[in-house]
Structure 1
Amino acid sequence: MNNLILLQAPSSPSDWVLFFGHFHPVVVHLPIGFVIVAGILELGRLTNQLQISRQAMATIFFWSAISATVACVFGYLLSLGGGYDEELLDQHMWQGIGVAVFTWLAWFVKSERWGDMLPISQLFYLPALALTVIMLTLAGHYGGSLTHGSDYLTAYTPEPFRSIAGIPPREQEVAFKPITDLNQAQVYEQIIHPILQTRCVQCHNPKKSKADLRLDNPEMIKKGSEDGPIFVAGKADESKMIKVCLLPLEDDHHMPPKGKTQLTDGQVAILTWWINQGAPFDKKVADLTVTDDVKPALAALTTGTSGGTLAGSGPAPASPVLTMKLPAPDAKTVDELRKTGLLVLPLAKEQNQLEVSAVNARTFNDAQAALLPKLEQQIVWLKLGDTDITDATLVQVAKLKNLQKLHLEQTKVTDAGLKNLKDLPHLEYINLYGTQVSDAGLRELSGLKNLRTIYLWQTKVTDAGVAALKKAHPGVDVNMGLAEKTIAEFMKVDSLSAANDPSRTKN
């Protein structure tokens, strides 16, 4: 995944080396600040706008030189961890060393103790300062390229400057085709690739391949990283691609790393299922065995009426709200919703039931949610997962009297907001994965007479709360996500493998 670093061999640098190396991004900003201040002050002196003593400038250059030297040392220690483009790293290193050398030279010239020993040294001062600024700019650029990719500075250059500078046309962002029929969906192209693209390719692409790993196309995925293959077809529990996702978030080897957007339980379940099915790149869902533990995650990807029933899962009970006669939606209102980034799609031809999805509108918020009640009769499926909504949006959702399916996963909704949903007569499905909902919120939903499915992965709901809900609704299907037992089995297998393989030790 992002910055995927697999378990290191004994030759890897020690934890002490990497510990100090990781301070490089912190220390490196000190010489930048000092040099900029020195440049501004010197410019003011040369234009007779400022008066500043020689000793003051010497002090600034002294601490600039000290911090630049420390930054060079920490940068070298950081580089020992590997995973960087060697050519960029080499250029960045020598430019950083150049900054340290020229700041020491500038300090020497400005120092009253040393500068006067060689009067001709004053001739080197302004050139040294100018070269320091130039080297600092170049070092910063290449440092950014190492971290964010070689085109990070020019990636968003607008026209006409792009053409004038001879920069190639900007690559179009990947647009994933909605899945309307899950059984006919291409497993890699429509399911696996979008997961990798949104969670992993940022750091594993042609321009930036951490650990020599690329995840942007099948050939590179099969090739693996500098340490070998990242998956074992048919054996997800032996695949590093899965193991690194299940490590604790604070673990250095956990992927995506802390601070990056994490894979959801559903996405991990899908990747696990894909590998266990042989990691095919050219098959449809219908060609594979869809296990019970992955059905909810796959079903959550669908758009349209045919996507919710998987082959072999049995027909879903028909809901009256899907067949009732409804007035046509107002075209102007539909356009308003689409302008916020929402997808507005009919569930079936010649019917006015709508699905509204925020899959491409992650910044959708409470203020924009005020538009939803304008289609209070037509909105039947509403997908607001992973957006910026809070409990305030549920006040608007409560007005959608024909709502049957509701996605609220990974949002800021709480128990208080769920109170607004207790009177929705047709609500059968609700996804609360990754929210702060607890047993109290679950009790608010006990009055939903038609509730059939509820997802509670990574919530505060307890077994007692689930038992109480099932007592009120014996037929409701409560899904708590990827079982802890399954994760424990992954970790157990990994621990046993490490114990039996001396080369897989961690410093």
Structure 2
Amino acid sequence: MILLDIITFFGRLHPLIVHLPIGFLLLAVIFDLVSYFPKYQVLKSAVSFTLFAGFCSAVIACIFGYLLSLTGDYDTTLLRHHKNSGIGIALFSGILFLLTHPKVRLIIPVSSRIFSALSVCLLGLMSYSGHLGGNLTHGSDYLSLAELTKTKREKPVSAEQAFIFEDVVQPILEKRCSQCHQGGKLKGNLSVESLTSLKKGGKNGPAVVAGKLAESELFKRITLDPAHKEFMPSDGKTPLTKTETEIIRWWIEKAMATEGKKLAELKGNEIIKPQIASFLGLGGLVPNEKETEISQKINPAIPLTLDNNLVINLRNSGFEARVMLQKPVMLDITLPSNSGKKGSELRKLLSPLAKNIIWLNLSENGLTDNDFDFLKDCTNLEKLRVEKNPVSDAFSNYLSKMPHLEALNLNETKITESSLTQLRKLPSLKRIYTFGTSIKGPEDGVINLGSK
């Protein structure tokens, strides 16, 4: 088990290391081509060393790529082509390096123009291999011409007219599950791209079994305790909201995991109609009688109502906003990666909703400590994701007035051990995700603080 963890750890470094040969070899080709101009002829002498550096780093990238392939989470055909092209790059760059050596040139005389033509061919092979790598990571439609001509599905005018799978269930799966279960990357050999692939399932059985929740691996995984190792989505990613989970439950149990049918065509749709309307942004914040029953576990400090225009304005500004519960109004808000939004704009859009925000995802947006001052108003927050932002220990000061915070994702941030003492004082905090930080802890980067 320890050996497997070590292999997985080093394998995950492949996407980082692979940029080294790309940079070196691209630079070598550029040096070679521009050296034809008298002004840059001196760069010709740097081609040999740059090719050698590219060759060495390509070999290392191949080794780490092989370790990553051992996890078995990728499409085998696509993986084989990517692996072979990667090995080809290493061999090709090695041959080009040898051809720069004077003694080799005596045995195999190659003109400068032929050498340059071979260098351009290497560039083409790199582009091909990179494209395959992108498909493995992001799906087969990544950088596909089909995406440019793809017609976006029109939004239903009402919940009744929504196709239950195509307009509701599939978008939920694409948002929450596609990163690990679509295209070239298939964790557990499971794809969520179609109903057929869901019924086929993965190595643990069918993901969906019509009418049988207990046999549907998908539903079992999304309803586990988030601390469970088999909970999905994993690695600290935002879980399905209560509304999304109820939709999946009803679709499997009552709609018999069907596709190609509108909600109006399905029996008993009145029960799920409010949730679907809310998910599609069609029902506003119209209360649903079943969801307005406030249990004792729900934080009484959350406002019961909210101006719907604030949510609409947030969505129009590029945020994803889901209503988890109608009364009190509980919001799950996500800011898409690399949005370009900073402190003043975040404060303007989120502060009016602060008391209603329960789950908040601001990951991978280049946000610094000063951009988070609005968090002091988010006193009802339960789950917060700020991974892949350059936040430091100063960020933890904004969390001191969050008595309900249960999960905090700090993966790949600049947080250090000194913040842990303050974070441990939060009364409800159960899990801290610290993978890729300087904090020493479990190998998976998850610090479990237990029940409080």
Q: CA deviation at 1:108?
A: 0.9
**CA 1:129 to 1:168, structure 2 compared with 1: closer, same or farther past 3 Å?**
closer
Whether 1:262 aligns to 2:238 is yes
Whether 1:21 aligns to 2:11 is yes
Structure 1 unaligned spans of 5+: 1-9, 156-165, 315-321, 323-333, 345-357, 366-379, 399-405, 420-430, 443-454, 464-483, 486-507
- Tell me, in whole angstroms, the C-alpha distance in 2 between the residues paired with 1:269 and 1:413: 32
Letter in 1 for 2:119: L
Whether 1:200 aligns to 2:177 is yes
The corresponding residue for 2:91 is: 101
Q: CA deviation at 1:79?
A: 2.2
**CA 1:102 to 1:275, structure 2 compared with 1: closer, same or farther past 3 Å?**
same
**CA 1:397 to 1:75, structure 2 compared with 1: closer, same or farther past 3 Å?**
closer
Pick from 280, 304, 316 the counterpart of residue 256 of structure 2. 280
Greater radius of gyration (CA): 1
**CA 1:310 to 1:187, structure 2 compared with 1: closer, same or farther past 3 Å?**
farther
Whether 1:118 aligns to 2:107 is yes
- Tell me, in whole angstroms, the C-alpha distance in 2 between the residues paired with 1:175 and 1:54: 57
- Which string of whole-angstrom CA distances, capped at 9 and with x for unpartnered residues, describes residues 178-200 of structure 1? 65x9xx99976776444223212
RCO comparison, higher one (Cα < 8 Å, 6+): 1
Pick from 333, 348, 356 the counterpart of residue 386 of structure 1. 333
How many residue pairs get matched? Answer: 353
**CA 1:243 to 1:394, structure 2 compared with 1: closer, same or farther past 3 Å?**
closer
Letter in 1 for 2:174: Q
Structure 2 unaligned spans of 5+: 258-265, 295-303, 322-326, 336-344, 361-371, 385-395, 409-425, 430-449
The corresponding residue for 1:71 is: 61
Letter in 2 for 1:214: S
Q: CA deviation at 1:38?
A: 1.0
Is contact 1:409–1:432 with CA below 8 Å preserved after alignment? yes
The corresponding residue for 2:319 is: 363
The corresponding residue for 1:171 is: 151
Partner of 2:35, secondary structure, is helix
**CA 1:248 to 1:458, structure 2 compared with 1: closer, same or farther past 3 Å?**
closer
Is contact 1:213–1:226 with CA below 8 Å preserved after alignment? yes
Pick from 118, 125, 133 the counterpart of residue 143 of structure 1. 133
Bigger mean CA deviation after superposition, 407-416 or 222-231: 407-416
**CA 1:219 to 1:232, structure 2 compared with 1: closer, same or farther past 3 Å?**
closer
- Which string of whole-angstrom CA distances, capped at 9 and with x for unpartnered residues, describes residues 338-369 of structure 1? 9xxx648xxxxxxxxxxxxx45654399xxxx
Map 1:289-328 → 2, pairs under 5 A: 303=283, 307-310=287-290
- Tell me, in whole angstroms, the C-alpha distance in 2 between the residues paired with 1:415 and 1:83: 37
The corresponding residue for 1:30 is: 20
Q: CA deviation at 1:99?
A: 1.4
Q: CA deviation at 1:227?
A: 4.0
Map 1:234-273 → 2, pairs under 5 A: 240-242=217-219, 244-245=221-222, 246=224, 255-258=232-235, 261-264=237-240, 266=242, 270=246, 273=249
Q: CA deviation at 1:276?
A: 9.0
Letter in 2 for 1:386: I
Partner of 2:109, secondary structure, is helix
Is contact 1:223–1:229 with CA below 8 Å preserved after alignment? yes
- Which string of whole-angstrom CA distances, capped at 9 and with x for unpartnered residues, describes residues 412-441 of structure 1? 68675379xxxxxxxxxxx75436998967
Partner of 1:95, secondary structure, is helix
Whether 1:92 aligns to 2:82 is yes
**CA 1:441 to 1:51, structure 2 compared with 1: closer, same or farther past 3 Å?**
closer
- Tell me, in whole angstroms, the C-alpha distance in 1 between the residues paired with 2:15 and 2:166: 37
Q: CA RMSD in A?
A: 5.2
Letter in 1 for 2:377: G
Bigger mean CA deviation after superposition, 299-308 or 198-207: 299-308
Q: CA deviation at 1:32?
A: 0.9
Q: CA deviation at 1:386?
A: 0.8
The normalised TM-score by structure 1 is 0.53
**CA 1:75 to 1:38, structure 2 compared with 1: closer, same or farther past 3 Å?**
same
Is contact 2:381–2:402 with CA below 8 Å preserved after alignment? no
The normalised TM-score by structure 2 is 0.59
